[in-house]
Amino acid sequence: MVIQEQVKEIVQRVKDLYSSLEIEKKQLEISNEEEKTTSSYFWNDPIHAKQVMKNIQSNKKLVKKYLKAKCAAEELQVLYDFFKEGEANVKEIEKQVEKTEKILSYIEYKHILSEEEDLLSAVLQISSGAGGTESCDWSNMLMRMYLMWGQKNNYKITKIHHVPGDIVGIKSVTLEFEGEYAFGYLKGENGVHRLVRISPFDSNAKRHTSFASVYVYPLISDSIEIEVKSSDIVWETFRSSGTGGQNVNKVETGVRLRYQGLIIENTESRSQQRNKEKALQLLKSRLFEIEMQKRLYKREAIETKKKKIKWGSQIRNYIMHPYKLVKDLRTGYETSDVDSVMNGELNDLLKKSYMVKSAIQTS
Protein backbone atom coordinates (compact mmCIF):
# COMPACT_ATOMS: atom_id res chain seq x y z
CA MET A 1 0.00 0.00 0.00
CA VAL A 2 1.43 3.37 -1.10
CA ILE A 3 0.38 5.30 2.02
CA GLN A 4 1.86 2.68 4.34
CA GLU A 5 5.20 2.83 2.47
CA GLN A 6 5.24 6.64 2.59
CA VAL A 7 4.69 6.67 6.34
CA LYS A 8 7.30 3.97 6.89
CA GLU A 9 9.88 5.85 4.77
CA ILE A 10 9.33 9.16 6.59
CA VAL A 11 9.62 7.57 10.03
CA GLN A 12 12.88 5.90 8.97
CA ARG A 13 14.28 9.17 7.59
CA VAL A 14 13.65 10.86 10.93
CA LYS A 15 15.50 8.05 12.73
CA ASP A 16 18.40 8.31 10.27
CA LEU A 17 18.62 12.07 10.80
CA TYR A 18 18.86 11.64 14.58
CA SER A 19 21.98 9.58 14.03
CA SER A 20 23.58 11.50 11.14
CA LEU A 21 22.99 14.91 12.72
CA GLU A 22 24.29 13.69 16.09
CA ILE A 23 21.35 15.33 17.85
CA GLU A 24 22.24 13.96 21.29
CA LYS A 25 25.81 15.27 20.93
CA LYS A 26 24.58 18.69 19.80
CA GLN A 27 22.19 18.96 22.76
CA LEU A 28 25.11 18.24 25.09
CA GLU A 29 27.28 20.83 23.29
CA ILE A 30 24.53 23.44 23.69
CA SER A 31 24.34 22.76 27.42
CA ASN A 32 28.12 22.89 27.88
CA GLU A 33 28.63 26.05 25.82
CA GLU A 34 25.74 27.85 27.49
CA GLU A 35 27.38 27.09 30.82
CA LYS A 36 30.59 28.74 29.53
CA THR A 37 28.71 31.95 28.73
CA THR A 38 27.89 32.42 32.42
CA SER A 39 31.58 32.82 33.27
CA SER A 40 32.74 36.33 34.19
CA TYR A 41 35.74 35.82 31.85
CA PHE A 42 33.66 34.77 28.84
CA TRP A 43 33.72 38.14 27.04
CA ASN A 44 37.42 38.79 27.65
CA ASP A 45 38.01 37.34 24.18
CA PRO A 46 35.16 38.92 22.13
CA ILE A 47 36.00 37.08 18.89
CA HIS A 48 35.95 33.66 20.58
CA ALA A 49 32.82 34.61 22.55
CA LYS A 50 30.96 35.60 19.38
CA GLN A 51 31.93 32.31 17.74
CA VAL A 52 30.66 30.33 20.75
CA MET A 53 27.36 32.26 20.68
CA LYS A 54 27.08 31.63 16.94
CA ASN A 55 27.66 27.89 17.45
CA ILE A 56 25.01 27.78 20.17
CA GLN A 57 22.43 29.49 17.98
CA SER A 58 23.28 27.31 14.97
CA ASN A 59 22.98 24.08 16.99
CA LYS A 60 19.75 25.26 18.60
CA LYS A 61 18.21 25.96 15.19
CA LEU A 62 19.16 22.52 13.93
CA VAL A 63 17.88 20.69 17.03
CA LYS A 64 14.65 22.72 16.94
CA LYS A 65 14.10 21.82 13.29
CA TYR A 66 14.80 18.14 13.97
CA LEU A 67 12.34 18.08 16.89
CA LYS A 68 9.76 19.71 14.64
CA ALA A 69 10.31 16.97 12.03
CA LYS A 70 10.10 14.27 14.71
CA CYS A 71 6.84 15.72 16.04
CA ALA A 72 5.37 15.91 12.51
CA ALA A 73 6.37 12.26 11.86
CA GLU A 74 4.77 11.16 15.15
CA GLU A 75 1.57 13.01 14.21
CA LEU A 76 1.66 11.25 10.84
CA GLN A 77 2.03 7.86 12.53
CA VAL A 78 -0.93 8.56 14.83
CA LEU A 79 -3.02 9.79 11.88
CA TYR A 80 -2.15 6.64 9.95
CA ASP A 81 -3.31 4.50 12.89
CA PHE A 82 -6.63 6.41 12.80
CA PHE A 83 -6.77 5.85 9.04
CA LYS A 84 -6.46 2.07 9.49
CA GLU A 85 -9.42 2.24 11.91
CA GLY A 86 -11.45 4.25 9.40
CA GLU A 87 -11.30 7.43 11.48
CA ALA A 88 -9.15 9.48 9.03
CA ASN A 89 -9.20 9.84 5.25
CA VAL A 90 -6.56 9.78 2.52
CA LYS A 91 -6.53 13.57 2.08
CA GLU A 92 -5.65 14.09 5.75
CA ILE A 93 -2.78 11.61 5.43
CA GLU A 94 -1.50 13.25 2.23
CA LYS A 95 -1.61 16.70 3.83
CA GLN A 96 0.44 15.50 6.82
CA VAL A 97 2.88 13.66 4.53
CA GLU A 98 3.44 16.87 2.55
CA LYS A 99 3.97 18.89 5.73
CA THR A 100 6.47 16.40 7.18
CA GLU A 101 8.26 15.96 3.85
CA LYS A 102 8.80 19.73 3.59
CA ILE A 103 10.43 19.90 7.03
CA LEU A 104 12.58 16.82 6.39
CA SER A 105 13.78 18.06 3.00
CA TYR A 106 14.86 21.36 4.55
CA ILE A 107 16.91 19.61 7.24
CA GLU A 108 18.46 17.11 4.81
CA TYR A 109 19.44 19.96 2.48
CA LYS A 110 21.10 21.89 5.30
CA HIS A 111 22.88 18.71 6.39
CA ILE A 112 24.49 18.49 2.94
CA LEU A 113 25.91 21.98 3.48
CA SER A 114 28.06 20.77 6.35
CA GLU A 115 31.51 22.04 5.31
CA GLU A 116 33.06 24.74 7.52
CA GLU A 117 32.86 27.34 4.75
CA ASP A 118 29.23 26.59 3.77
CA LEU A 119 27.91 28.63 6.71
CA LEU A 120 29.76 31.79 5.63
CA SER A 121 28.59 34.82 3.67
CA ALA A 122 29.52 34.88 -0.01
CA VAL A 123 31.12 37.12 -2.61
CA LEU A 124 29.82 36.63 -6.15
CA GLN A 125 31.53 38.06 -9.23
CA ILE A 126 29.96 38.24 -12.69
CA SER A 127 32.12 38.96 -15.75
CA SER A 128 30.83 39.35 -19.31
CA GLY A 129 32.35 37.13 -21.98
CA ALA A 130 33.19 37.88 -25.59
CA GLY A 131 30.36 39.53 -27.49
CA GLY A 132 30.34 43.15 -26.39
CA THR A 133 26.86 44.56 -25.91
CA GLU A 134 25.16 41.15 -25.90
CA SER A 135 27.36 39.73 -23.13
CA CYS A 136 27.18 42.93 -21.07
CA ASP A 137 23.38 42.80 -21.21
CA TRP A 138 23.42 39.09 -20.27
CA SER A 139 25.70 39.83 -17.28
CA ASN A 140 23.22 42.48 -16.16
CA MET A 141 20.38 39.95 -16.43
CA LEU A 142 22.35 37.49 -14.29
CA MET A 143 23.05 40.19 -11.71
CA ARG A 144 19.32 40.94 -11.48
CA MET A 145 18.59 37.20 -11.11
CA TYR A 146 21.00 36.79 -8.18
CA LEU A 147 19.84 40.04 -6.55
CA MET A 148 16.23 38.84 -6.65
CA TRP A 149 17.26 35.43 -5.28
CA GLY A 150 19.12 37.12 -2.42
CA GLN A 151 16.18 39.38 -1.59
CA LYS A 152 13.72 36.46 -1.60
CA ASN A 153 16.00 34.50 0.75
CA ASN A 154 16.53 37.44 3.14
CA TYR A 155 20.21 38.09 2.49
CA LYS A 156 21.75 41.52 2.94
CA ILE A 157 23.29 42.41 -0.43
CA THR A 158 26.07 44.94 -1.03
CA LYS A 159 27.45 45.96 -4.41
CA ILE A 160 31.23 46.04 -3.81
CA HIS A 161 32.45 46.93 -7.30
CA HIS A 162 30.75 47.67 -10.60
CA VAL A 163 32.08 48.28 -14.12
CA PRO A 164 29.31 49.35 -16.54
CA GLY A 165 29.18 48.25 -20.17
CA ASP A 166 30.09 50.72 -22.90
CA ILE A 167 26.49 50.85 -24.17
CA VAL A 168 24.26 48.78 -21.86
CA GLY A 169 24.58 46.30 -19.01
CA ILE A 170 27.76 45.56 -17.09
CA LYS A 171 31.25 44.35 -17.88
CA SER A 172 31.69 43.07 -14.33
CA VAL A 173 30.16 43.33 -10.90
CA THR A 174 31.05 42.06 -7.42
CA LEU A 175 28.24 41.41 -4.94
CA GLU A 176 28.35 40.44 -1.27
CA PHE A 177 25.58 38.24 0.14
CA GLU A 178 25.63 38.52 3.92
CA GLY A 179 23.92 35.80 5.94
CA GLU A 180 24.11 32.16 6.98
CA TYR A 181 24.74 29.56 4.26
CA ALA A 182 25.10 32.16 1.48
CA PHE A 183 28.28 30.48 0.24
CA GLY A 184 26.85 27.00 0.74
CA TYR A 185 23.91 27.84 -1.51
CA LEU A 186 25.82 29.80 -4.16
CA LYS A 187 29.11 27.87 -4.49
CA GLY A 188 27.68 25.64 -7.21
CA GLU A 189 27.15 28.70 -9.45
CA ASN A 190 30.86 28.81 -10.35
CA GLY A 191 31.32 28.54 -14.10
CA VAL A 192 30.07 29.82 -17.43
CA HIS A 193 26.38 30.62 -17.97
CA ARG A 194 25.16 30.56 -21.60
CA LEU A 195 22.20 32.50 -23.00
CA VAL A 196 20.44 31.81 -26.32
CA ARG A 197 17.82 34.35 -27.45
CA ILE A 198 16.62 36.70 -30.17
CA SER A 199 18.75 39.78 -29.60
CA PRO A 200 16.89 43.02 -28.80
CA PHE A 201 19.92 44.84 -30.25
CA ASP A 202 19.79 43.13 -33.66
CA SER A 203 17.53 44.87 -36.19
CA ASN A 204 17.41 41.61 -38.17
CA ALA A 205 15.99 39.74 -35.15
CA LYS A 206 18.62 37.02 -35.34
CA ARG A 207 19.33 34.51 -32.62
CA HIS A 208 22.45 35.23 -30.54
CA THR A 209 24.46 33.23 -28.00
CA SER A 210 26.05 35.09 -25.07
CA PHE A 211 28.33 33.97 -22.26
CA ALA A 212 29.09 35.28 -18.78
CA SER A 213 31.28 33.85 -16.04
CA VAL A 214 30.27 33.57 -12.40
CA TYR A 215 32.80 33.12 -9.60
CA VAL A 216 31.80 32.62 -5.96
CA TYR A 217 34.00 32.49 -2.87
CA PRO A 218 33.30 32.57 0.89
CA LEU A 219 33.64 35.79 2.87
CA ILE A 220 35.68 34.81 5.91
CA SER A 221 34.75 35.89 9.43
CA ASP A 222 37.02 37.29 12.16
CA SER A 223 37.32 33.82 13.66
CA ILE A 224 39.34 32.58 10.65
CA GLU A 225 42.97 33.68 10.62
CA ILE A 226 44.66 34.11 7.23
CA GLU A 227 48.29 35.19 6.96
CA VAL A 228 48.98 38.02 4.50
CA LYS A 229 52.50 39.29 3.79
CA SER A 230 52.26 43.10 3.96
CA SER A 231 55.44 43.46 1.89
CA ASP A 232 53.71 41.72 -1.06
CA ILE A 233 50.74 44.11 -1.11
CA VAL A 234 50.65 46.84 -3.76
CA TRP A 235 47.96 49.51 -3.44
CA GLU A 236 46.54 51.65 -6.26
CA THR A 237 43.78 54.22 -6.04
CA PHE A 238 41.40 55.52 -8.70
CA ARG A 239 38.27 57.58 -9.12
CA SER A 240 35.07 55.59 -8.92
CA SER A 241 32.65 55.73 -11.84
CA GLY A 242 28.89 55.95 -11.79
CA THR A 243 26.53 57.30 -9.16
CA GLY A 244 27.36 57.75 -5.54
CA GLY A 245 27.51 61.46 -4.78
CA GLN A 246 29.81 64.33 -5.67
CA ASN A 247 32.78 62.95 -3.72
CA VAL A 248 32.87 59.66 -5.64
CA ASN A 249 33.89 61.07 -9.01
CA LYS A 250 36.26 63.81 -7.74
CA VAL A 251 38.34 61.94 -5.16
CA GLU A 252 40.29 58.71 -5.64
CA THR A 253 38.16 56.62 -3.27
CA GLY A 254 38.34 53.43 -5.35
CA VAL A 255 41.15 51.02 -4.40
CA ARG A 256 42.92 48.25 -6.27
CA LEU A 257 44.93 45.70 -4.28
CA ARG A 258 47.56 43.53 -5.99
CA TYR A 259 48.90 40.52 -4.12
CA GLN A 260 50.88 37.62 -5.58
CA GLY A 261 48.96 37.68 -8.87
CA LEU A 262 45.56 38.39 -7.29
CA ILE A 263 43.75 41.67 -8.00
CA ILE A 264 40.99 42.98 -5.72
CA GLU A 265 39.02 46.14 -6.56
CA ASN A 266 36.59 47.91 -4.25
CA THR A 267 34.47 51.03 -4.76
CA GLU A 268 31.77 50.20 -2.22
CA SER A 269 32.33 53.19 0.10
CA ARG A 270 33.06 56.91 -0.29
CA SER A 271 35.89 56.39 2.19
CA GLN A 272 39.19 55.20 0.74
CA GLN A 273 40.20 53.76 4.13
CA ARG A 274 37.03 51.69 4.44
CA ASN A 275 37.50 50.47 0.87
CA LYS A 276 41.05 49.38 1.77
CA GLU A 277 39.80 47.52 4.84
CA LYS A 278 37.15 45.75 2.76
CA ALA A 279 39.67 44.92 0.03
CA LEU A 280 41.90 43.27 2.65
CA GLN A 281 38.96 41.19 3.87
CA LEU A 282 38.20 40.15 0.28
CA LEU A 283 41.86 39.24 -0.26
CA LYS A 284 41.87 37.03 2.84
CA SER A 285 38.64 35.44 1.63
CA ARG A 286 40.19 34.69 -1.76
CA LEU A 287 43.27 33.18 -0.08
CA PHE A 288 40.99 31.07 2.12
CA GLU A 289 39.11 29.87 -0.97
CA ILE A 290 42.37 28.96 -2.71
CA GLU A 291 43.48 26.94 0.32
CA MET A 292 40.05 25.33 0.47
CA GLN A 293 40.39 24.26 -3.18
CA LYS A 294 43.82 22.76 -2.47
CA ARG A 295 42.27 20.63 0.26
CA LEU A 296 39.51 19.62 -2.13
CA TYR A 297 41.92 18.48 -4.81
CA LYS A 298 43.75 16.31 -2.29
CA ARG A 299 40.67 14.15 -1.89
CA GLU A 300 41.72 11.89 -4.74
CA ALA A 301 39.03 9.29 -4.21
CA ILE A 302 36.31 11.87 -4.60
CA GLU A 303 38.09 13.84 -7.29
CA THR A 304 38.17 10.86 -9.66
CA LYS A 305 34.40 10.49 -9.36
CA LYS A 306 33.16 14.05 -9.62
CA LYS A 307 33.32 16.60 -12.36
CA LYS A 308 35.64 19.49 -11.54
CA ILE A 309 34.01 22.87 -11.26
CA LYS A 310 36.45 25.44 -12.54
CA TRP A 311 36.48 28.86 -14.18
CA GLY A 312 35.68 28.44 -17.85
CA SER A 313 33.52 25.32 -17.62
CA GLN A 314 29.95 25.73 -18.86
CA ILE A 315 27.41 24.74 -16.23
CA ARG A 316 24.02 25.98 -17.39
CA ASN A 317 22.09 26.97 -20.52
CA TYR A 318 19.30 29.56 -20.55
CA ILE A 319 17.37 29.20 -23.81
CA MET A 320 14.72 31.77 -24.69
CA HIS A 321 14.36 30.93 -28.40
CA PRO A 322 13.10 28.92 -30.27
CA TYR A 323 11.69 27.41 -27.07
CA LYS A 324 12.07 28.20 -23.37
CA LEU A 325 14.35 26.04 -21.25
CA VAL A 326 16.86 26.35 -18.42
CA LYS A 327 19.07 23.27 -18.15
CA ASP A 328 21.85 22.50 -15.68
CA LEU A 329 24.46 20.53 -17.61
CA ARG A 330 25.91 18.89 -14.48
CA THR A 331 22.72 17.44 -13.02
CA GLY A 332 20.45 17.21 -16.05
CA TYR A 333 17.80 19.20 -14.15
CA GLU A 334 15.72 21.38 -16.44
CA THR A 335 12.67 23.64 -16.35
CA SER A 336 10.67 25.47 -19.00
CA ASP A 337 9.76 28.22 -16.53
CA VAL A 338 12.60 30.53 -17.61
CA ASP A 339 10.82 33.64 -16.33
CA SER A 340 10.69 32.33 -12.75
CA VAL A 341 14.39 31.43 -12.81
CA MET A 342 15.35 34.88 -14.12
CA ASN A 343 13.20 36.37 -11.35
CA GLY A 344 15.35 34.67 -8.71
CA GLU A 345 13.56 31.34 -8.22
CA LEU A 346 16.83 29.37 -8.07
CA ASN A 347 16.36 27.12 -5.05
CA ASP A 348 15.26 24.06 -7.03
CA LEU A 349 18.32 24.38 -9.29
CA LEU A 350 20.65 24.88 -6.33
CA LYS A 351 19.13 22.07 -4.30
CA LYS A 352 19.34 19.55 -7.15
CA SER A 353 22.99 20.42 -7.66
CA TYR A 354 23.93 19.65 -4.05
CA MET A 355 21.76 16.55 -3.82
CA VAL A 356 23.57 15.07 -6.83
CA LYS A 357 26.99 16.17 -5.55
CA SER A 358 26.30 14.60 -2.15
CA ALA A 359 25.21 11.31 -3.76
CA ILE A 360 28.44 11.22 -5.82
CA GLN A 361 30.68 11.91 -2.82
CA THR A 362 29.08 9.24 -0.64
CA SER A 363 28.86 6.57 -3.37
Average pLDDT value for residue range 233-237:
93
Return the pLDDT at 312.
Answer: 46
Binning pLDDT at 50, 70 and 90, where does residue 357 land? low
pLDDT, one tens digit per residue, over 296-352 is: 665 443 333 333 333 446 899 999 988 999 999 988 899 999 999 999 999 888 887
pLDDT for 36-70, tens place per residue? 999 989 999 988 898 899 889 988 988 999 999 99
| Domain ranges across the chain | 2-112, 117-222+306-362, 230-296
Write the pLDDT tens digit of every residue in 147-165: 999 999 999 999 999 999 9
d(CA 144, CA 173): 11
| 29, pLDDT greater than 90 | yes
Q: Average pLDDT in the 216-225 region?
A: 79
The CATH architecture to which 117-222+306-362 belongs is: 2-Layer Sandwich (3.30)
State pTM to two decimals. Answer: 0.70
Q: What is the pLDDT of residue 303?
A: 35
Count the helix, strand and coil residues of the chain and give each as a percent rounded to the nearest 5.
50, 20, 25
Q: Do domains 2-112 and 117-222+306-362 have the same CATH topology?
A: no
- The topology (CATH level 3) of 2-112 is Methane Monooxygenase Hydroxylase; Chain G, domain 1 (1.20.58)
Which pLDDT does position 358 carry in this prediction?
54
pLDDT of residue 156: 96
Q: Edge-to-edge strand order for the sheet containing 325-328?
A: 156-164, 170-178, 121-128, 207-219, 191-198, 314-319, 325-328, 334-335
| Nearest to 241, CA basis, from 227, 226, 253, 259 | 253
Determine contact, residues 173/182, Cβ cutoff 8 Å.
no
Q: What is the CATH number of domain 230-296?
A: 3.30.160.20
Coil, strand or helix at 30:
helix
**pLDDT (0 to 100) of residue 248:** 47
Give the whole-angstrom CA distance, residue 18 versus residue 67: 9
Residue 180 has pLDDT above 60, yes or no: yes
Task: Give the model confidence (pLDDT) of 259-298 as tens digits.
Answer: 999 999 999 888 999 999 999 999 999 998 888 777 666 5
